Amino acid sequence: MNAETASHGEDEELRKTIRAFLDEHDPAAMGRDSFLTARWDAGLAVVHYPVGHGGLGLARSLQQVAEAEFAKAGAPVLDPVRNVIGLGMAAPTIIAFGTEEQKQRWLRPLWTAREIWCQLFSEPAAGSDLAGLATRATRTDGEWVVTGQKVWTSVAHRARWGLLLARTDPDVPKHAGLSYFVLDMHAPGVEVRPLRQLTGEAEFNEVFLTDVRIPDGDRLGDVGAGWRVAQTTLMNERVSIGGARAVPRELGAIGFAAAAWRQHPEKRTHELHQRLLRLWAEAEVARLAGDRLRQQLAAGEPGPEGSAAKLSYARLNQEISGFEIDFEGSDGLRYDDWTMRRPAASDYTRGAGYRYLRSKGNSIEGGTSEILRNIIAERVLGLPPEPRVDKDVAWKDLPR
């Protein structure tokens, strides 16, 4: 079942199941990983996942019920930052396209963050035009030999596995010649190099692949169907960035701006007041729109609406952080924390200067804002698509 809303009886039945589980698994007496593993095995990790793979096959809307019951018991909280790509992108893709063996092998350690995941999509010459990528995978004796370069790969330096999109047939149009693999990031031939950012840290990486061997059993979906599999990953990525989790009012970027306004009345002006009111209202609209998006998710897989949430998130973050710099005046320019770090994710508590610099990447990561506008125009608003002269041309014949 995957109904949009669950009945009252299903709600109560799930609560009883969780309480019975908690009677046998005391969160206070168990370590975090042990508790989360037991929760997975009981089907109470993500309740709409299939039975035997961390779920009970219930409605998506019941996940909120499960989280509330575990929170009341003081159970360990799943921190998505520890494995943001694994939880937000890899898991839904494996659920949708993985074999039973692949689900058994990858999902459980992904949930507990024992195995971290990254995403190997973008390339130096294939960012916005992802289907134009050049990384090649050639089939040899039941394996695939992969050579190429990926870029902007978050947490590749920590990852055990990578979601890899590669070209397996250059003789067909670019979208048709792709296949989707799971790459062992510790395999011979995988080299990860840090990319230092404007903030001084290095969340991102370049990844060089030289004759890397991937077993055919680590392929997701059919050969040549990689674009279809990748769409599932990308849709979930945009939702996870733009509004996958419920957030309280004034949490996030607008919370920092509002706190600064309250703490420093001496810096207030009428013009800044008007800006803050507008930004606060827009942030609240975005928050409520995120609630509506989660209701849509309860009815099925994420669609192009997630692109709108991610687009709004990027623009608001940049405008709010710009307001913070203006409000701080000359103090807002005093960013000097250029320490080379290799974090698992951005740390927006590092100050207004950091938030301003880091927000510049929001309109690039997870799909550029320009591409997201195209998706919204074509798939949400129903406007005519842009002309695509390369649609029926073999990839090998395209100019590069």
Each residue's pLDDT tens digit, 87-134: 989 999 999 999 999 999 999 999 989 999 999 999 998 877 899 999
| Confidence (pLDDT) at 3 | 43
- Asked if residue 397 belongs to a domain, the reply is no
Tokens of 171: 């003789």
Q: Which residue numbers are catalytic?
A: 237
Round to whole Å and give the CA distance between 357 and 160.
29
Helices (H), 251-304: 253-263, 270-297
- Asked if residue 226 belongs to a domain, the reply is no
Give whole-number Cα distances, 205 to 155, 242, 332, in Å: 7, 22, 29
Q: What type of residue is 370?
A: E
| Confidence (pLDDT) at 122 | 93
- Asked if residue 217 belongs to a domain, the reply is no
Residue 51 class from Cβ within 10 Å (0-12 exposed, 13-18 middle, 19+ buried)?
exposed
Cβ pair 167, 177 in contact under 8 A? yes
Tokens of 191: 């080299």
Select from 348, 92, 41 the least CA-distant residue to 203.
Answer: 348
CATH code where residue 316 lies: 1.20.140.10
Span 130-152, mean pLDDT?
Answer: 96
Round to whole Å and give the CA distance between 203 and 391.
34
Boundary (domain end) residue, out of 78, 95, 122: 78
Cβ pair 198, 357 in contact under 8 A? yes
| Confidence (pLDDT) at 341 | 81
pTM for the full predicted model: 0.85
Query: Strand locations in the chain, DSSP E?
Result: 117-120, 136-140, 143-150, 161-167, 178-184, 190-195, 204-215, 219-220
What are the tens digits of pLDDT across the range 24-74?
999 999 988 899 999 999 999 999 999 999 999 998 889 889 999 999 999
- Asked if residue 26 belongs to a domain, the reply is yes
Q: Which range, 212-226, 309-323, 368-382, is most confident?
A: 212-226
Number of domains in the chain: 2
- Asked if residue 101 belongs to a domain, the reply is no
Boundary (domain end) residue, out of 56, 78, 100: 78
Confidence of residue 390 (pLDDT cuts 50, 70, 90): confident
The helices-and-strands tally (H runs, E runs) of the chain is: 12, 8
Q: Is the pLDDT of residue 4 over 50?
A: no
Select from 206, 107, 82 the least CA-distant residue to 151.
Answer: 206
- Asked if residue 290 belongs to a domain, the reply is yes
Q: Which domain holds residue 283?
A: 231-380
